[in-house]
């Protein structure tokens, strides 16, 4: 039996013919095929012509006119030491002729910011002001103010500044609901790219929930193709109704310029950072108070979904649950999968942490949790990570392998602030003096001292006693989830 295929396509096709059946001797019966009549398509109505000049002149000028005065330039100055002649940096040269001549140089970083409160509260990126000793805010009318950094948080890459307006009320950009932003929405990016002056660009929201696989727990970006370049950092990403959708933060580029892939921190997280400042009274130092999930986890891949009996990949597989933490109190166990928070799907720990952090401590958070084919809704009470053990730091002195290292007790609160594993315990290194003994042995910030000479180290005091009471140290160090050993003997 032979098969006949007839392909009919394109706008020119007017009829489809049915094939007659073949007879037993493979000859078609003498039946004349009848065409199947297809009605021609109805004529498509043309769009109506614009009835007014307003319909012809679509413009964002009214929104821009209202928002631009509330977007500022931020200059952060710092003084750095620079070698006069960089060619003479050979150690042998230093031994023969002494240290090379150094001079001070003023280094300046340029970014943007957004006025979010009329009395002079400005929101920008942490990396715009990090390391600066002098921060200047320049308004769109060219006036400049010296700014005080109230809060700088490297975890979220956000910072809050305050300028003294002498009672003058400044224009602000109102916060929008970044969870209401959808892919395809039109957005405007406002800032000062390359220092050329305030610039407005337009694009669409290209994607949501971009986590980028970075080390930060709260990297949860809005992606846009609105042109964003160096200098736009800290500027406003606004919706077409003039609400703040996000803070422009980063671009993906191989040349340093915009190629249409820009990222903004969602406004809902930025609002929580501002609230951390607003809750401070009597000039006390501000600190970021973000709700904590109390667990570690990993994305559910196709292989993991199959092994767990889930119908499809997606969600966060909970690996470890902190005893007494929010998930533990809600009855969520290791091995279960968190699929959604407040009805929004989550696919990794960054998105789970972000969704939790946009809540205030004490809020009820709705989680959809799966265990195999069983799915249930769980209410979790948002809470702050505990200071257990209590915060304690010390700089190690004396003659031992950790001399010059600054160490601290690891608690959930400290681990969260320093972007460490929330399940980490013991004593960790906060910083290392480059010229100290600890630096010579290769110790790094984030290293956790597990034991010395077989004694488990849980507190700073235990570490100090173990170091000072010996002249030989057999140490177990944890770095990035791996355990390293170091044996040092003092021969003097």
Q: Structure tokens of 312?
A: 């499809």
Catalytic residue among 233, 258, 276, 411: 233
Taking a C-beta distance cutoff of 8 angstroms, is the pair 316, 344 a contact? no
Q: How many residues does the chain have?
A: 492
Active site residue 127: yes
Q: How far apart are CA 126 and CA 111, in angstroms?
A: 10
Question: Phi and psi for 135 in degrees, rounded to 5?
Answer: -120, 125
Q: How many CB atoms lie within 10 A of CB 481?
A: 7
Q: How far apart are CA 182 and CA 310, in angstroms?
A: 28
Active site residue 157: yes
Beta bridge partners of 76: 109, 135
Contacts 24+ apart (CB under 8 A), 357-363: 357/218, 357/269, 357/272, 357/290, 357/291, 358/268, 358/269, 358/272, 359/291, 360/272, 360/275, 360/291, 361/289, 361/291, 363/291
Catalytic residue among 76, 127, 206, 359: 127
Helix (H, G, I), strand (E, B) or coil at 43: coil
Active site residue 359: no
| DSSP at 304 | H
Catalytic residue among 109, 112, 153, 157: 157
Would you please indicate which residues are annotated as catalytic (active-site) residues?
A: 127, 157, 233
């Amino acid at each position: 039996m032979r098969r006949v295929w007839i392909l009919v396509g394109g706008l020119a096709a007017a009829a489809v013919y049915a094939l007659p059946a073949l007879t037993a001797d493979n000859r078609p019966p003498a039946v004349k095929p009848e065409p199947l009549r297809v009605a021609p398509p109805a004529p498509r109505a043309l769009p109506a012509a614009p009835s007014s000049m307003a319909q012809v002149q679509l413009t964002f000028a009214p929104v821009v006119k209202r928002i631009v005065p509330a977007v500022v330039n931020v200059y952060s100055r710092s003084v750095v030491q620079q070698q006069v002649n960089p060619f003479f940096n050979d150690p042998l040269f230093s031994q023969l002729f002494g240290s090379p001549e150094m001079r001070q140089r003023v280094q300046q970083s340029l970014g943007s910011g957004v006025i979010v409160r009329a009395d002079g509260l400005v929101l920008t990126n942490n990396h715009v002001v990090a390391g600066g000793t002098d921060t200047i805010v320049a308004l769109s009318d060219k006036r400049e103010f010296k700014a005080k950094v109230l809060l700088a948080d490297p975890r979220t890459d956000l910072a809050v500044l305050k300028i003294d307006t002498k009672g003058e009320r400044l224009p602000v950009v109102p916060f929008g609901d970044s969870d209401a932003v959808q892919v395809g929405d039109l957005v405007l990016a406002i800032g000062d790219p390359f220092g050329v002056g305030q610039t407005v660009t337009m694009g669409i929201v290209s994607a949501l929930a971009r986590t980028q696989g970075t080390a930060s727990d709260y990297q949860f970006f809005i992606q846009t193709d609105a042109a964003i370049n160096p200098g736009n950092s800290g500027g406003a990403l606004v919706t077409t109704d003039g609400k703040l959708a996000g803070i422009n933060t980063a671009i993906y580029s191989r040349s340093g310029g915009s190629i249409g892939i820009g990222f903004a921190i969602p406004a809902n997280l930025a609002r929580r950072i501002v609230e951390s400042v607003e809750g401070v009274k009597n000039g006390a130092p501000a600190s970021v108070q973000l709700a904590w999930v109390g667990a570690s986890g990993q994305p559910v891949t196709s292989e993991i979904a199959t092994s767990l009996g889930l119908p499809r990949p997606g969600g966060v597989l909970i690996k470890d649950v902190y005893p007494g933490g929010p998930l533990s109190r809600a009855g969520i166990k290791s091995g279960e999968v968190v699929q959604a928070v407040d009805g929004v799907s989550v696919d990794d720990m960054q998105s789970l942490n972000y969704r939790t952090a946009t809540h205030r401590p004490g809020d009820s958070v709705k989680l959809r949790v799966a265990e195999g084919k069983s799915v249930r809704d769980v209410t979790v009470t948002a809470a702050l990570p505990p200071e257990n053990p209590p915060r304690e730091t010390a700089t190690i002195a004396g003659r031992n392998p950790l001399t010059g290292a600054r160490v601290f007790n690891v608690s959930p609160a400290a681990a969260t602030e320093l972007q460490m594993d929330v399940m980490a315990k013991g004593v960790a290194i906060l910083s290392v003096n480059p010229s100290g003994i600890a630096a010579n042995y290769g110790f790094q910030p984030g290293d956790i001292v597990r034991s010395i000479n077989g004694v488990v180290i849980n507190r700073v005091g235990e570490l100090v006693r173990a170091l000072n009471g010996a002249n030989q140290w057999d140490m177990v160090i944890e770095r990035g989830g791996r355990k390293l050993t170091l044996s040092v003997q003092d021969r003097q």
